[in-house]
A = this chain, B = another copy of it.
Amino acid sequence: MDRTSVPESGAKLRLVVAAEELFAERGFEAVSVRDITKHAGMNIASINYHFGSRDGLVAGVMTRYITPINDERLARIEALERRWSGKSVPLEEILDAFVRPLATQVRKSELSERLFLKLVGRMFGEQSSAMPPVVEEQFKQVLTRFVKSLSKALPELAVDEILWRMHFVIGAMVHFMAQDEVLQRISQGASGNPTVETTLSRFSRFAIAGLRNGISEEVIAKPSPQATFNF
């Protein structure tokens, strides 16, 4: 059995699922091993037995969803680059490759949409916590890859400016994912309970506008003759 990677055995999985639910609700630092084992109906020592330490469990929870999301992001952006064969990929599609994996993976998870978004949002936000170096390296790789594609889509912008804008985009994403109740409390009633897809596309439009910021679409799409039909 592979002890170090994603858990397969029933006991490890039960611990991870219980931890995910509590981490999503209260944050990674506000949940004790006793909380987790009690919620999973297991003994206190089980976490240390199966994961070596509390940090080992945190690492397991982090890699469980973050890795598929980042892998899908890289796969999508590579597929886009291939399909546009060297030409610059439209900004909308780049952003879609960055955001859509969240919707893809939320459906595969055993968590509710709300808990999944909170959990993943906390992972992005609380880098302070014990994030495994593997995951941090994945983030860097994803960011580097997307900045490269964005540089072609927004040739007027310096790489620095693209990094800053992506930083803003990620911040907005983390915030609305991790803090659902804030907005839901404020905008109560009006738009009911929007689906994840609705919210993500709302966010995508916001992020695209922020990234494009001051650069007209014609200039960007100049190389392709049918640019005016893009929208």
A-side residues, CB < 8 A to B, are: 26-27, 29-30, 125, 127-128, 140, 143, 158-161, 163-165, 167-176, 179, 182-183, 186-187, 190-191, 199, 202-203, 205-210, 212-214
Contacts and interface: CB of A to CB of B under 8 A. Distances in A.
B26 A128 contact: yes
A168 B206 contact: yes
A163 to B, nearest CB: 5
Contacts of A163: 183, 186-187
Contacts of A143: 186
25 contacts: A29-B30, A125-B125, A127-B179, A161-B202, A163-B186, A163-B187, A164-B202, A165-B206, A167-B172, A167-B175, A168-B176, A168-B203, A168-B206, A168-B207, A171-B171, A171-B173, A172-B210, A175-B175, A205-B214, A207-B210, A208-B213, A209-B209, A209-B210, A209-B212, A209-B214
Nearest to A209: B213
A150 to B, nearest CB: 14
Stoichiometry (number of copies): 2
Contacts of A187: 159-160, 163-164
Nearest to A139: B182
A167 B190 contact: no
Contacts of A140: 186
Contacts of A190: 158-160
Contacts of A168: 172, 175-176, 203, 206-207
Contacts of A208: 213
A176 B182 contact: no
B171 A176 contact: yes
List the 4 closest A-B pairs by CB distance, nearest first. Answer: A171-B175, A209-B213, A168-B172, A210-B210
A175 to B, nearest CB: 2
Nearest to A202: B164
A188 B158 CA distance: 14
A52 to B, nearest CB: 22
